Chains A and B, each alone.
Chain A
C-alpha cells in the first residue's frame, strides 16, 4: 500500500468546496439580476445575452448544477471516504470528475447566453453538453460505486443509500429526458412531442428536485448533522422507512406540474395523489433530523452549523408541506403560473438546499484545513441576514402569487373579467422590489461566507488526514 492510499483524498473535496462557493455567488448574482429585471425592465439593457429569457436559465442552471452540484460532490467525496474508511477508488476519476464538471458548467453558461438551449426547464443544456454531463456523471458514479465495493466497513450507512439513489436516478432522468434527433451541434429536436414531451419533462423536472435537491441533501444531512450535533441519528427504523417510501413515491409526483393542462386526467390525478402521500416520507426525514438534535439544543445558541441545520430542516418541512398542498387540484388552479410557485421553490432552494450547504461547509472546511473557523461571529451574521433574505423572498412571493391568482379569476357581477392582464402585473412591482432585496441579502450572506472560509483556509494547512486503522 502506498503512502497516498493510507490517507483520504481531501484535495478533491477542497476544490469542490471552492467551486461550490464560487458558482454559488455567480448563480445567486444572476438570480438577483433577474429579479431586478422583473422589478425594472431597464435592467435588461437591450443586450440579448442577458435578457430575462436567457438569464433565468443561466441562474437556474448555475444554482442547481453548479452550486448544489459541486456541494453534493464535495460532501459525498468527504463523507463516503470516511464512511467506507478508504480513499476514493481512483484519483484519476476524481480529477476527471472535478474538472469535467466545471467544463460542463462553463460550456452550458456560454451556450445559454448565446441562446443555444433545449427550451425545457432545468434541462436547457443542448445535446452535446448533455452527452458531456452524462459522461461526467457516469465517471462520478463509477468512482463512487467502486469505492463502496472496496469499503472497509461492512454496513452501508444511511447517507450512502441516499447517495446511491441519487447516482442511479439522476442518470436515468437525464438520459431519458434529453433524447433528441440532432440538427446541428447546438440543436436537436426531442423524440417526444407535445403532451408526451410535457410529461417526460416534468417527470424529469420534479425528480431533479427529488433526486438532486432532496436525496443527496438528506444523505449529507444524515452524515454532517450527527457529526455537528455529536449525537447519533434519532431513529434508524425511521430512516429505513422514509428512505424507501421517499424513493418510491417521489418518482410518481411529476404530473402535479401539469394539472388542468391537456395531460390526461388520470395522469394528473396520479400526480396529485402521490404528491399528497409524499408528505409522510418528507416529514420522516425532517423529524429524524430535528430529533437528532435532542440533547444538543443548548449548543444552538453558539454553533452556527447547528443554527443553519435547524432552519434548513424547518424550511424542508415547510416546503414539503406546501408542495403537496399546491398539488391539490383546486389549489393548483389558483397557484399555478403565479409567483407562489417560484416562492415555494425558493423556500426549498434557499432554505433547505442552501442552508444545508452552508451548514456543511462551515463544519467541513475548518476540518479540511485542520484549523478552526476564522470567525464564528461572521458566520452568525451570515445566518441572520440569510434567514431574513429568505423570509423577504418567500413572503413577498406568497403575496404576489395569491394576489395575481385571485385577480386573474375575478369577475364582475355581469360575468365579465374584472381585471385586464396588465393590471395584474402592475400591482406586483413593489413586491418584486422586496423579493430582489431578499435575494440580495441572501447573496450578501454568501459573500461573507466566502470571505470567512477563505480566511479559514489561509490560517490552516492541507496536511493529509490518515485513515484510522487504514494501513491494514
Chain B
C-alpha cells in the first residue's frame, strides 16, 4: 500500500497509531493482572498497621524514594549487604510501590529491625550524628510536627475498596491502635535515653513504617 494514501487521511493515521501502541501495552500489562502466578502470595505478608500506613505516607511525602530504593536484587553483594532479595509477594499492600530508581543512600527494603528505634530518631534529627559522612538532609520538623490522623480512616477505607483486608473493627479503632503503637515506640525511645519524647509526632509513625519494612518474612530471626 502506498504510504501517501495513509498520509492524506488523518483519521486512519490516528487509528493505526493507536493500534500500534496498544499491541505492546496490552501484551505486557494484561498478563500481569490476568495470571495470578506472576505474584505468588506470601502468607506472612500482612497489611500495614494504621500507624505504619501514616508513616508510609510521610515517607512518600518527603520523597525518600528519590534517594532510597526498596528492592534488593538477587546478587550476592546485595543479599550480603541488605538481606534476602525482594519477592513479588512482599509488595502486595504497597500503593504506590516505592522501589525507587536511585541509591544515593542505601536500599531500605530490609531496614526493618536493622537498628533500634532510637537510632532512627537521632538519625532523622541529624543524620551526621549517626554517620558523620552522611549527605542526607536533616528532618527536624518530623520530631516537632504532630501527626495528622484526620484522614486515617478514610485512607483505610480507600485501601479496603482496593482489596486490602482491613476489617470494620480495625478501621473503627484505627486511631486508638495507632496511639497504642506510638506509645510503645515512645517508651522504647525513652528507655534508650531519648529525652522529652512526644508519642504524637510524625517521626514516630515513620519509625513504625521503617521498622516494619521487609520484616514480614522473619528473615532476621532465621539468621
Contacts and interface: CB of A to CB of B under 8 A. Distances in A.
B80 A201 contact: no
B167 interface: no
B222 interface: no
B94 A194 contact: yes
Contacts of B137: 37, 41, 44, 46, 51-53
A198 interface: yes
A241 B11 CA distance: 20
A338 interface: yes
Given A244-B20, A337-B102, A181 B158 contact: yes
Contacts of A249: 24
A184 to B, nearest CB: 6
Contacts of B63: 51-54, 56-57, 117, 119
A274 interface: yes
A199 B32 contact: yes
Nearest to B77: A409
Interface in B89-110: 90-107
A409 B75 contact: yes
Interface string A82-120: 000000000000000000000000000000000111111
A275 to B, nearest CB: 12
Size class of the contact patch on chain A: 35 or more
B91 A247 contact: no
Contact of A264 (B32, B75, B80, B106): B32
Residue from A57, A196, A426 having most chain B Cβ neighbours under 10 A: A196
Nearest to A425: B135
Interface stretch (B138-146, B174-182, B185-193): B138-146
B195 interface: no
A341 B86 contact: no
B24 A248 contact: yes
Given A194-B91, A201-B97, A188 B103 contact: no
Given A53-B67, A181-B161, A267-B28, A193 B94 contact: yes
Given A119-B96, A341-B101, A53 B66 contact: yes
B43 interface: no
A274 B28 CA distance: 12
Nearest to B37: A264
A97 B154 CA distance: 34
A451 interface: no
Interface string B16-55: 0110110111011100110000110000000000000000
A187 B158 CA distance: 11
A44 B3 CA distance: 55
Given A53-B67, A164-B13, A337-B101, A255 B28 contact: yes
Interface in A149-205: 149, 154-156, 161, 164-165, 168-169, 172, 181-184, 187-201, 203
A468 interface: no
Contacts of A14: none
Tell which of A37, A38, A193 has the most Cβ of chain B within 10 Å: A193
Contact of A197 (B74, B78, B96, B155): B96
Contact of A46 (B60, B71, B86, B138): B138
Interface in A43-83: 44, 46, 48, 51-54, 56-57
Interface residues of B, number: 80
A236 to B, nearest CB: 9
A342 B67 CA distance: 12
Given A119-B96, A189-B162, A247-B20, A44 B138 contact: yes
A227 B114 CA distance: 61
A119 B21 contact: no
A117 B8 contact: no
B1 to A, nearest CB: 11
A422 interface: yes
A267 B102 CA distance: 21
B7 A156 contact: yes
Among A119, A148, A200, A255, the most chain B Cβ lie within 10 Å of the Cβ of A119
Nearest to A115: B61
Given A37-B137, A181-B158, A333-B75, A57 B66 contact: yes
A284 to B, nearest CB: 15
A57 B67 CA distance: 12
Contacts of A255: 28
Contacts of B57: 187
A251 interface: yes
B178 to A, nearest CB: 16
Nearest to B86: A262
B145 to A, nearest CB: 9
Interface of B: 3-4, 7-8, 10, 13-14, 17-18, 20-21, 23-25, 27-29, 32-33, 38-39, 57, 60-67, 69, 71, 73-78, 80-81, 86-88, 90-107, 127, 131, 133-141, 151, 154-155, 158-159, 161-163
Task: Please name the 10 residue pairs, one residue from A and one from B, whose CB atoms are nearest each other, closest first.
Answer: A53-B63, A194-B91, A119-B60, A44-B137, A251-B24, A115-B61, A252-B24, A337-B103, A260-B73, A262-B88
17 contacts: A41-B134, A44-B137, A52-B137, A116-B61, A155-B7, A164-B13, A184-B151, A189-B96, A191-B162, A193-B93, A193-B162, A197-B94, A251-B21, A251-B25, A252-B27, A260-B73, A260-B75
Given A189-B159, A333-B75, A417-B81, 19 more contacts: A44-B137, A115-B62, A117-B63, A118-B96, A119-B96, A161-B7, A161-B13, A165-B17, A168-B18, A169-B21, A192-B95, A193-B95, A193-B97, A195-B38, A198-B99, A258-B99, A262-B87, A270-B28, A408-B81
